Structure formats: C-alpha cells, structure tokens
C-alpha cells in the first residue's frame, strides 16, 4: 500500500495518482478516471478533481493508496 502524506488539507484524485506513480501524467489520470477504473473508498469515482482527505483510500490497477 502506497501512503501519500498531505501537505495541505487535501489532494486531488488526479494528483494523487501521479504522486503515487500509477500514471505518467494528468492526461493519463483523466483517462483512467473517466473510464471508471479508479475507486475512492470503495466506490467508482469519475471526477479527476475529487478532493481526497486524510483517511481516504484510492484503488487502481490492483494498487492501493492511503491518504494521510
């Protein structure tokens, strides 16, 4: 499980995928999110700008990211 520590109050979903190294760019993040391949807290999320807060869990391509 990858852990991303917040520097601010939140991080956007697309940024979190990039920070964890699961996508190469914001464009790649946009495509995988729009295709319904990303889950946030167990539910499919289609908003790239979804704000993630401490305790949120992101799942993509058999990888898990925890936001702290």
Q: What is the 3-state secondary structure (H, E, C) of 25-61?
A: CHHHHHHHHHCCCEEECCEECCCCCCEECCCCEEEEC
Structure tokens at 3: 């852990």
Q: How many domains does the chain have?
A: 1
Nearest one of 54, 51, 50 to 67, comparing CA atoms: 54
Q: What is the pLDDT along the chain (68 residues), one digit of tens a residue?
A: 999 999 999 999 999 999 999 999 999 999 999 999 999 999 999 999 999 999 999 999 999 999 99
Question: Where in the sequence is the domain holding 24, given as residue range(s)?
Answer: 2-67
Compute the distance between CA of residue 56 and CA of residue 54 in angstroms, rounded to an integer: 6
SS3 category, 9: coil
What DSSP designation does 21 have?
A: T
pTM of the model: 0.93
């Amino acid at each position: 499980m990858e852990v991303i520590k917040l520097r601010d109050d939140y991080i956007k979903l697309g940024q979190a995928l990039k920070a964890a190294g699961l996508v190469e760019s914001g464009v790649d993040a946009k495509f995988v999110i729009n295709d319904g391949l990303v889950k946030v807290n167990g539910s499919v999320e289609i908003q790239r700008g979804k704000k993630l807060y401490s305790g949120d869990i992101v799942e993509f391509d058999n990888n898990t990211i925890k936001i702290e």
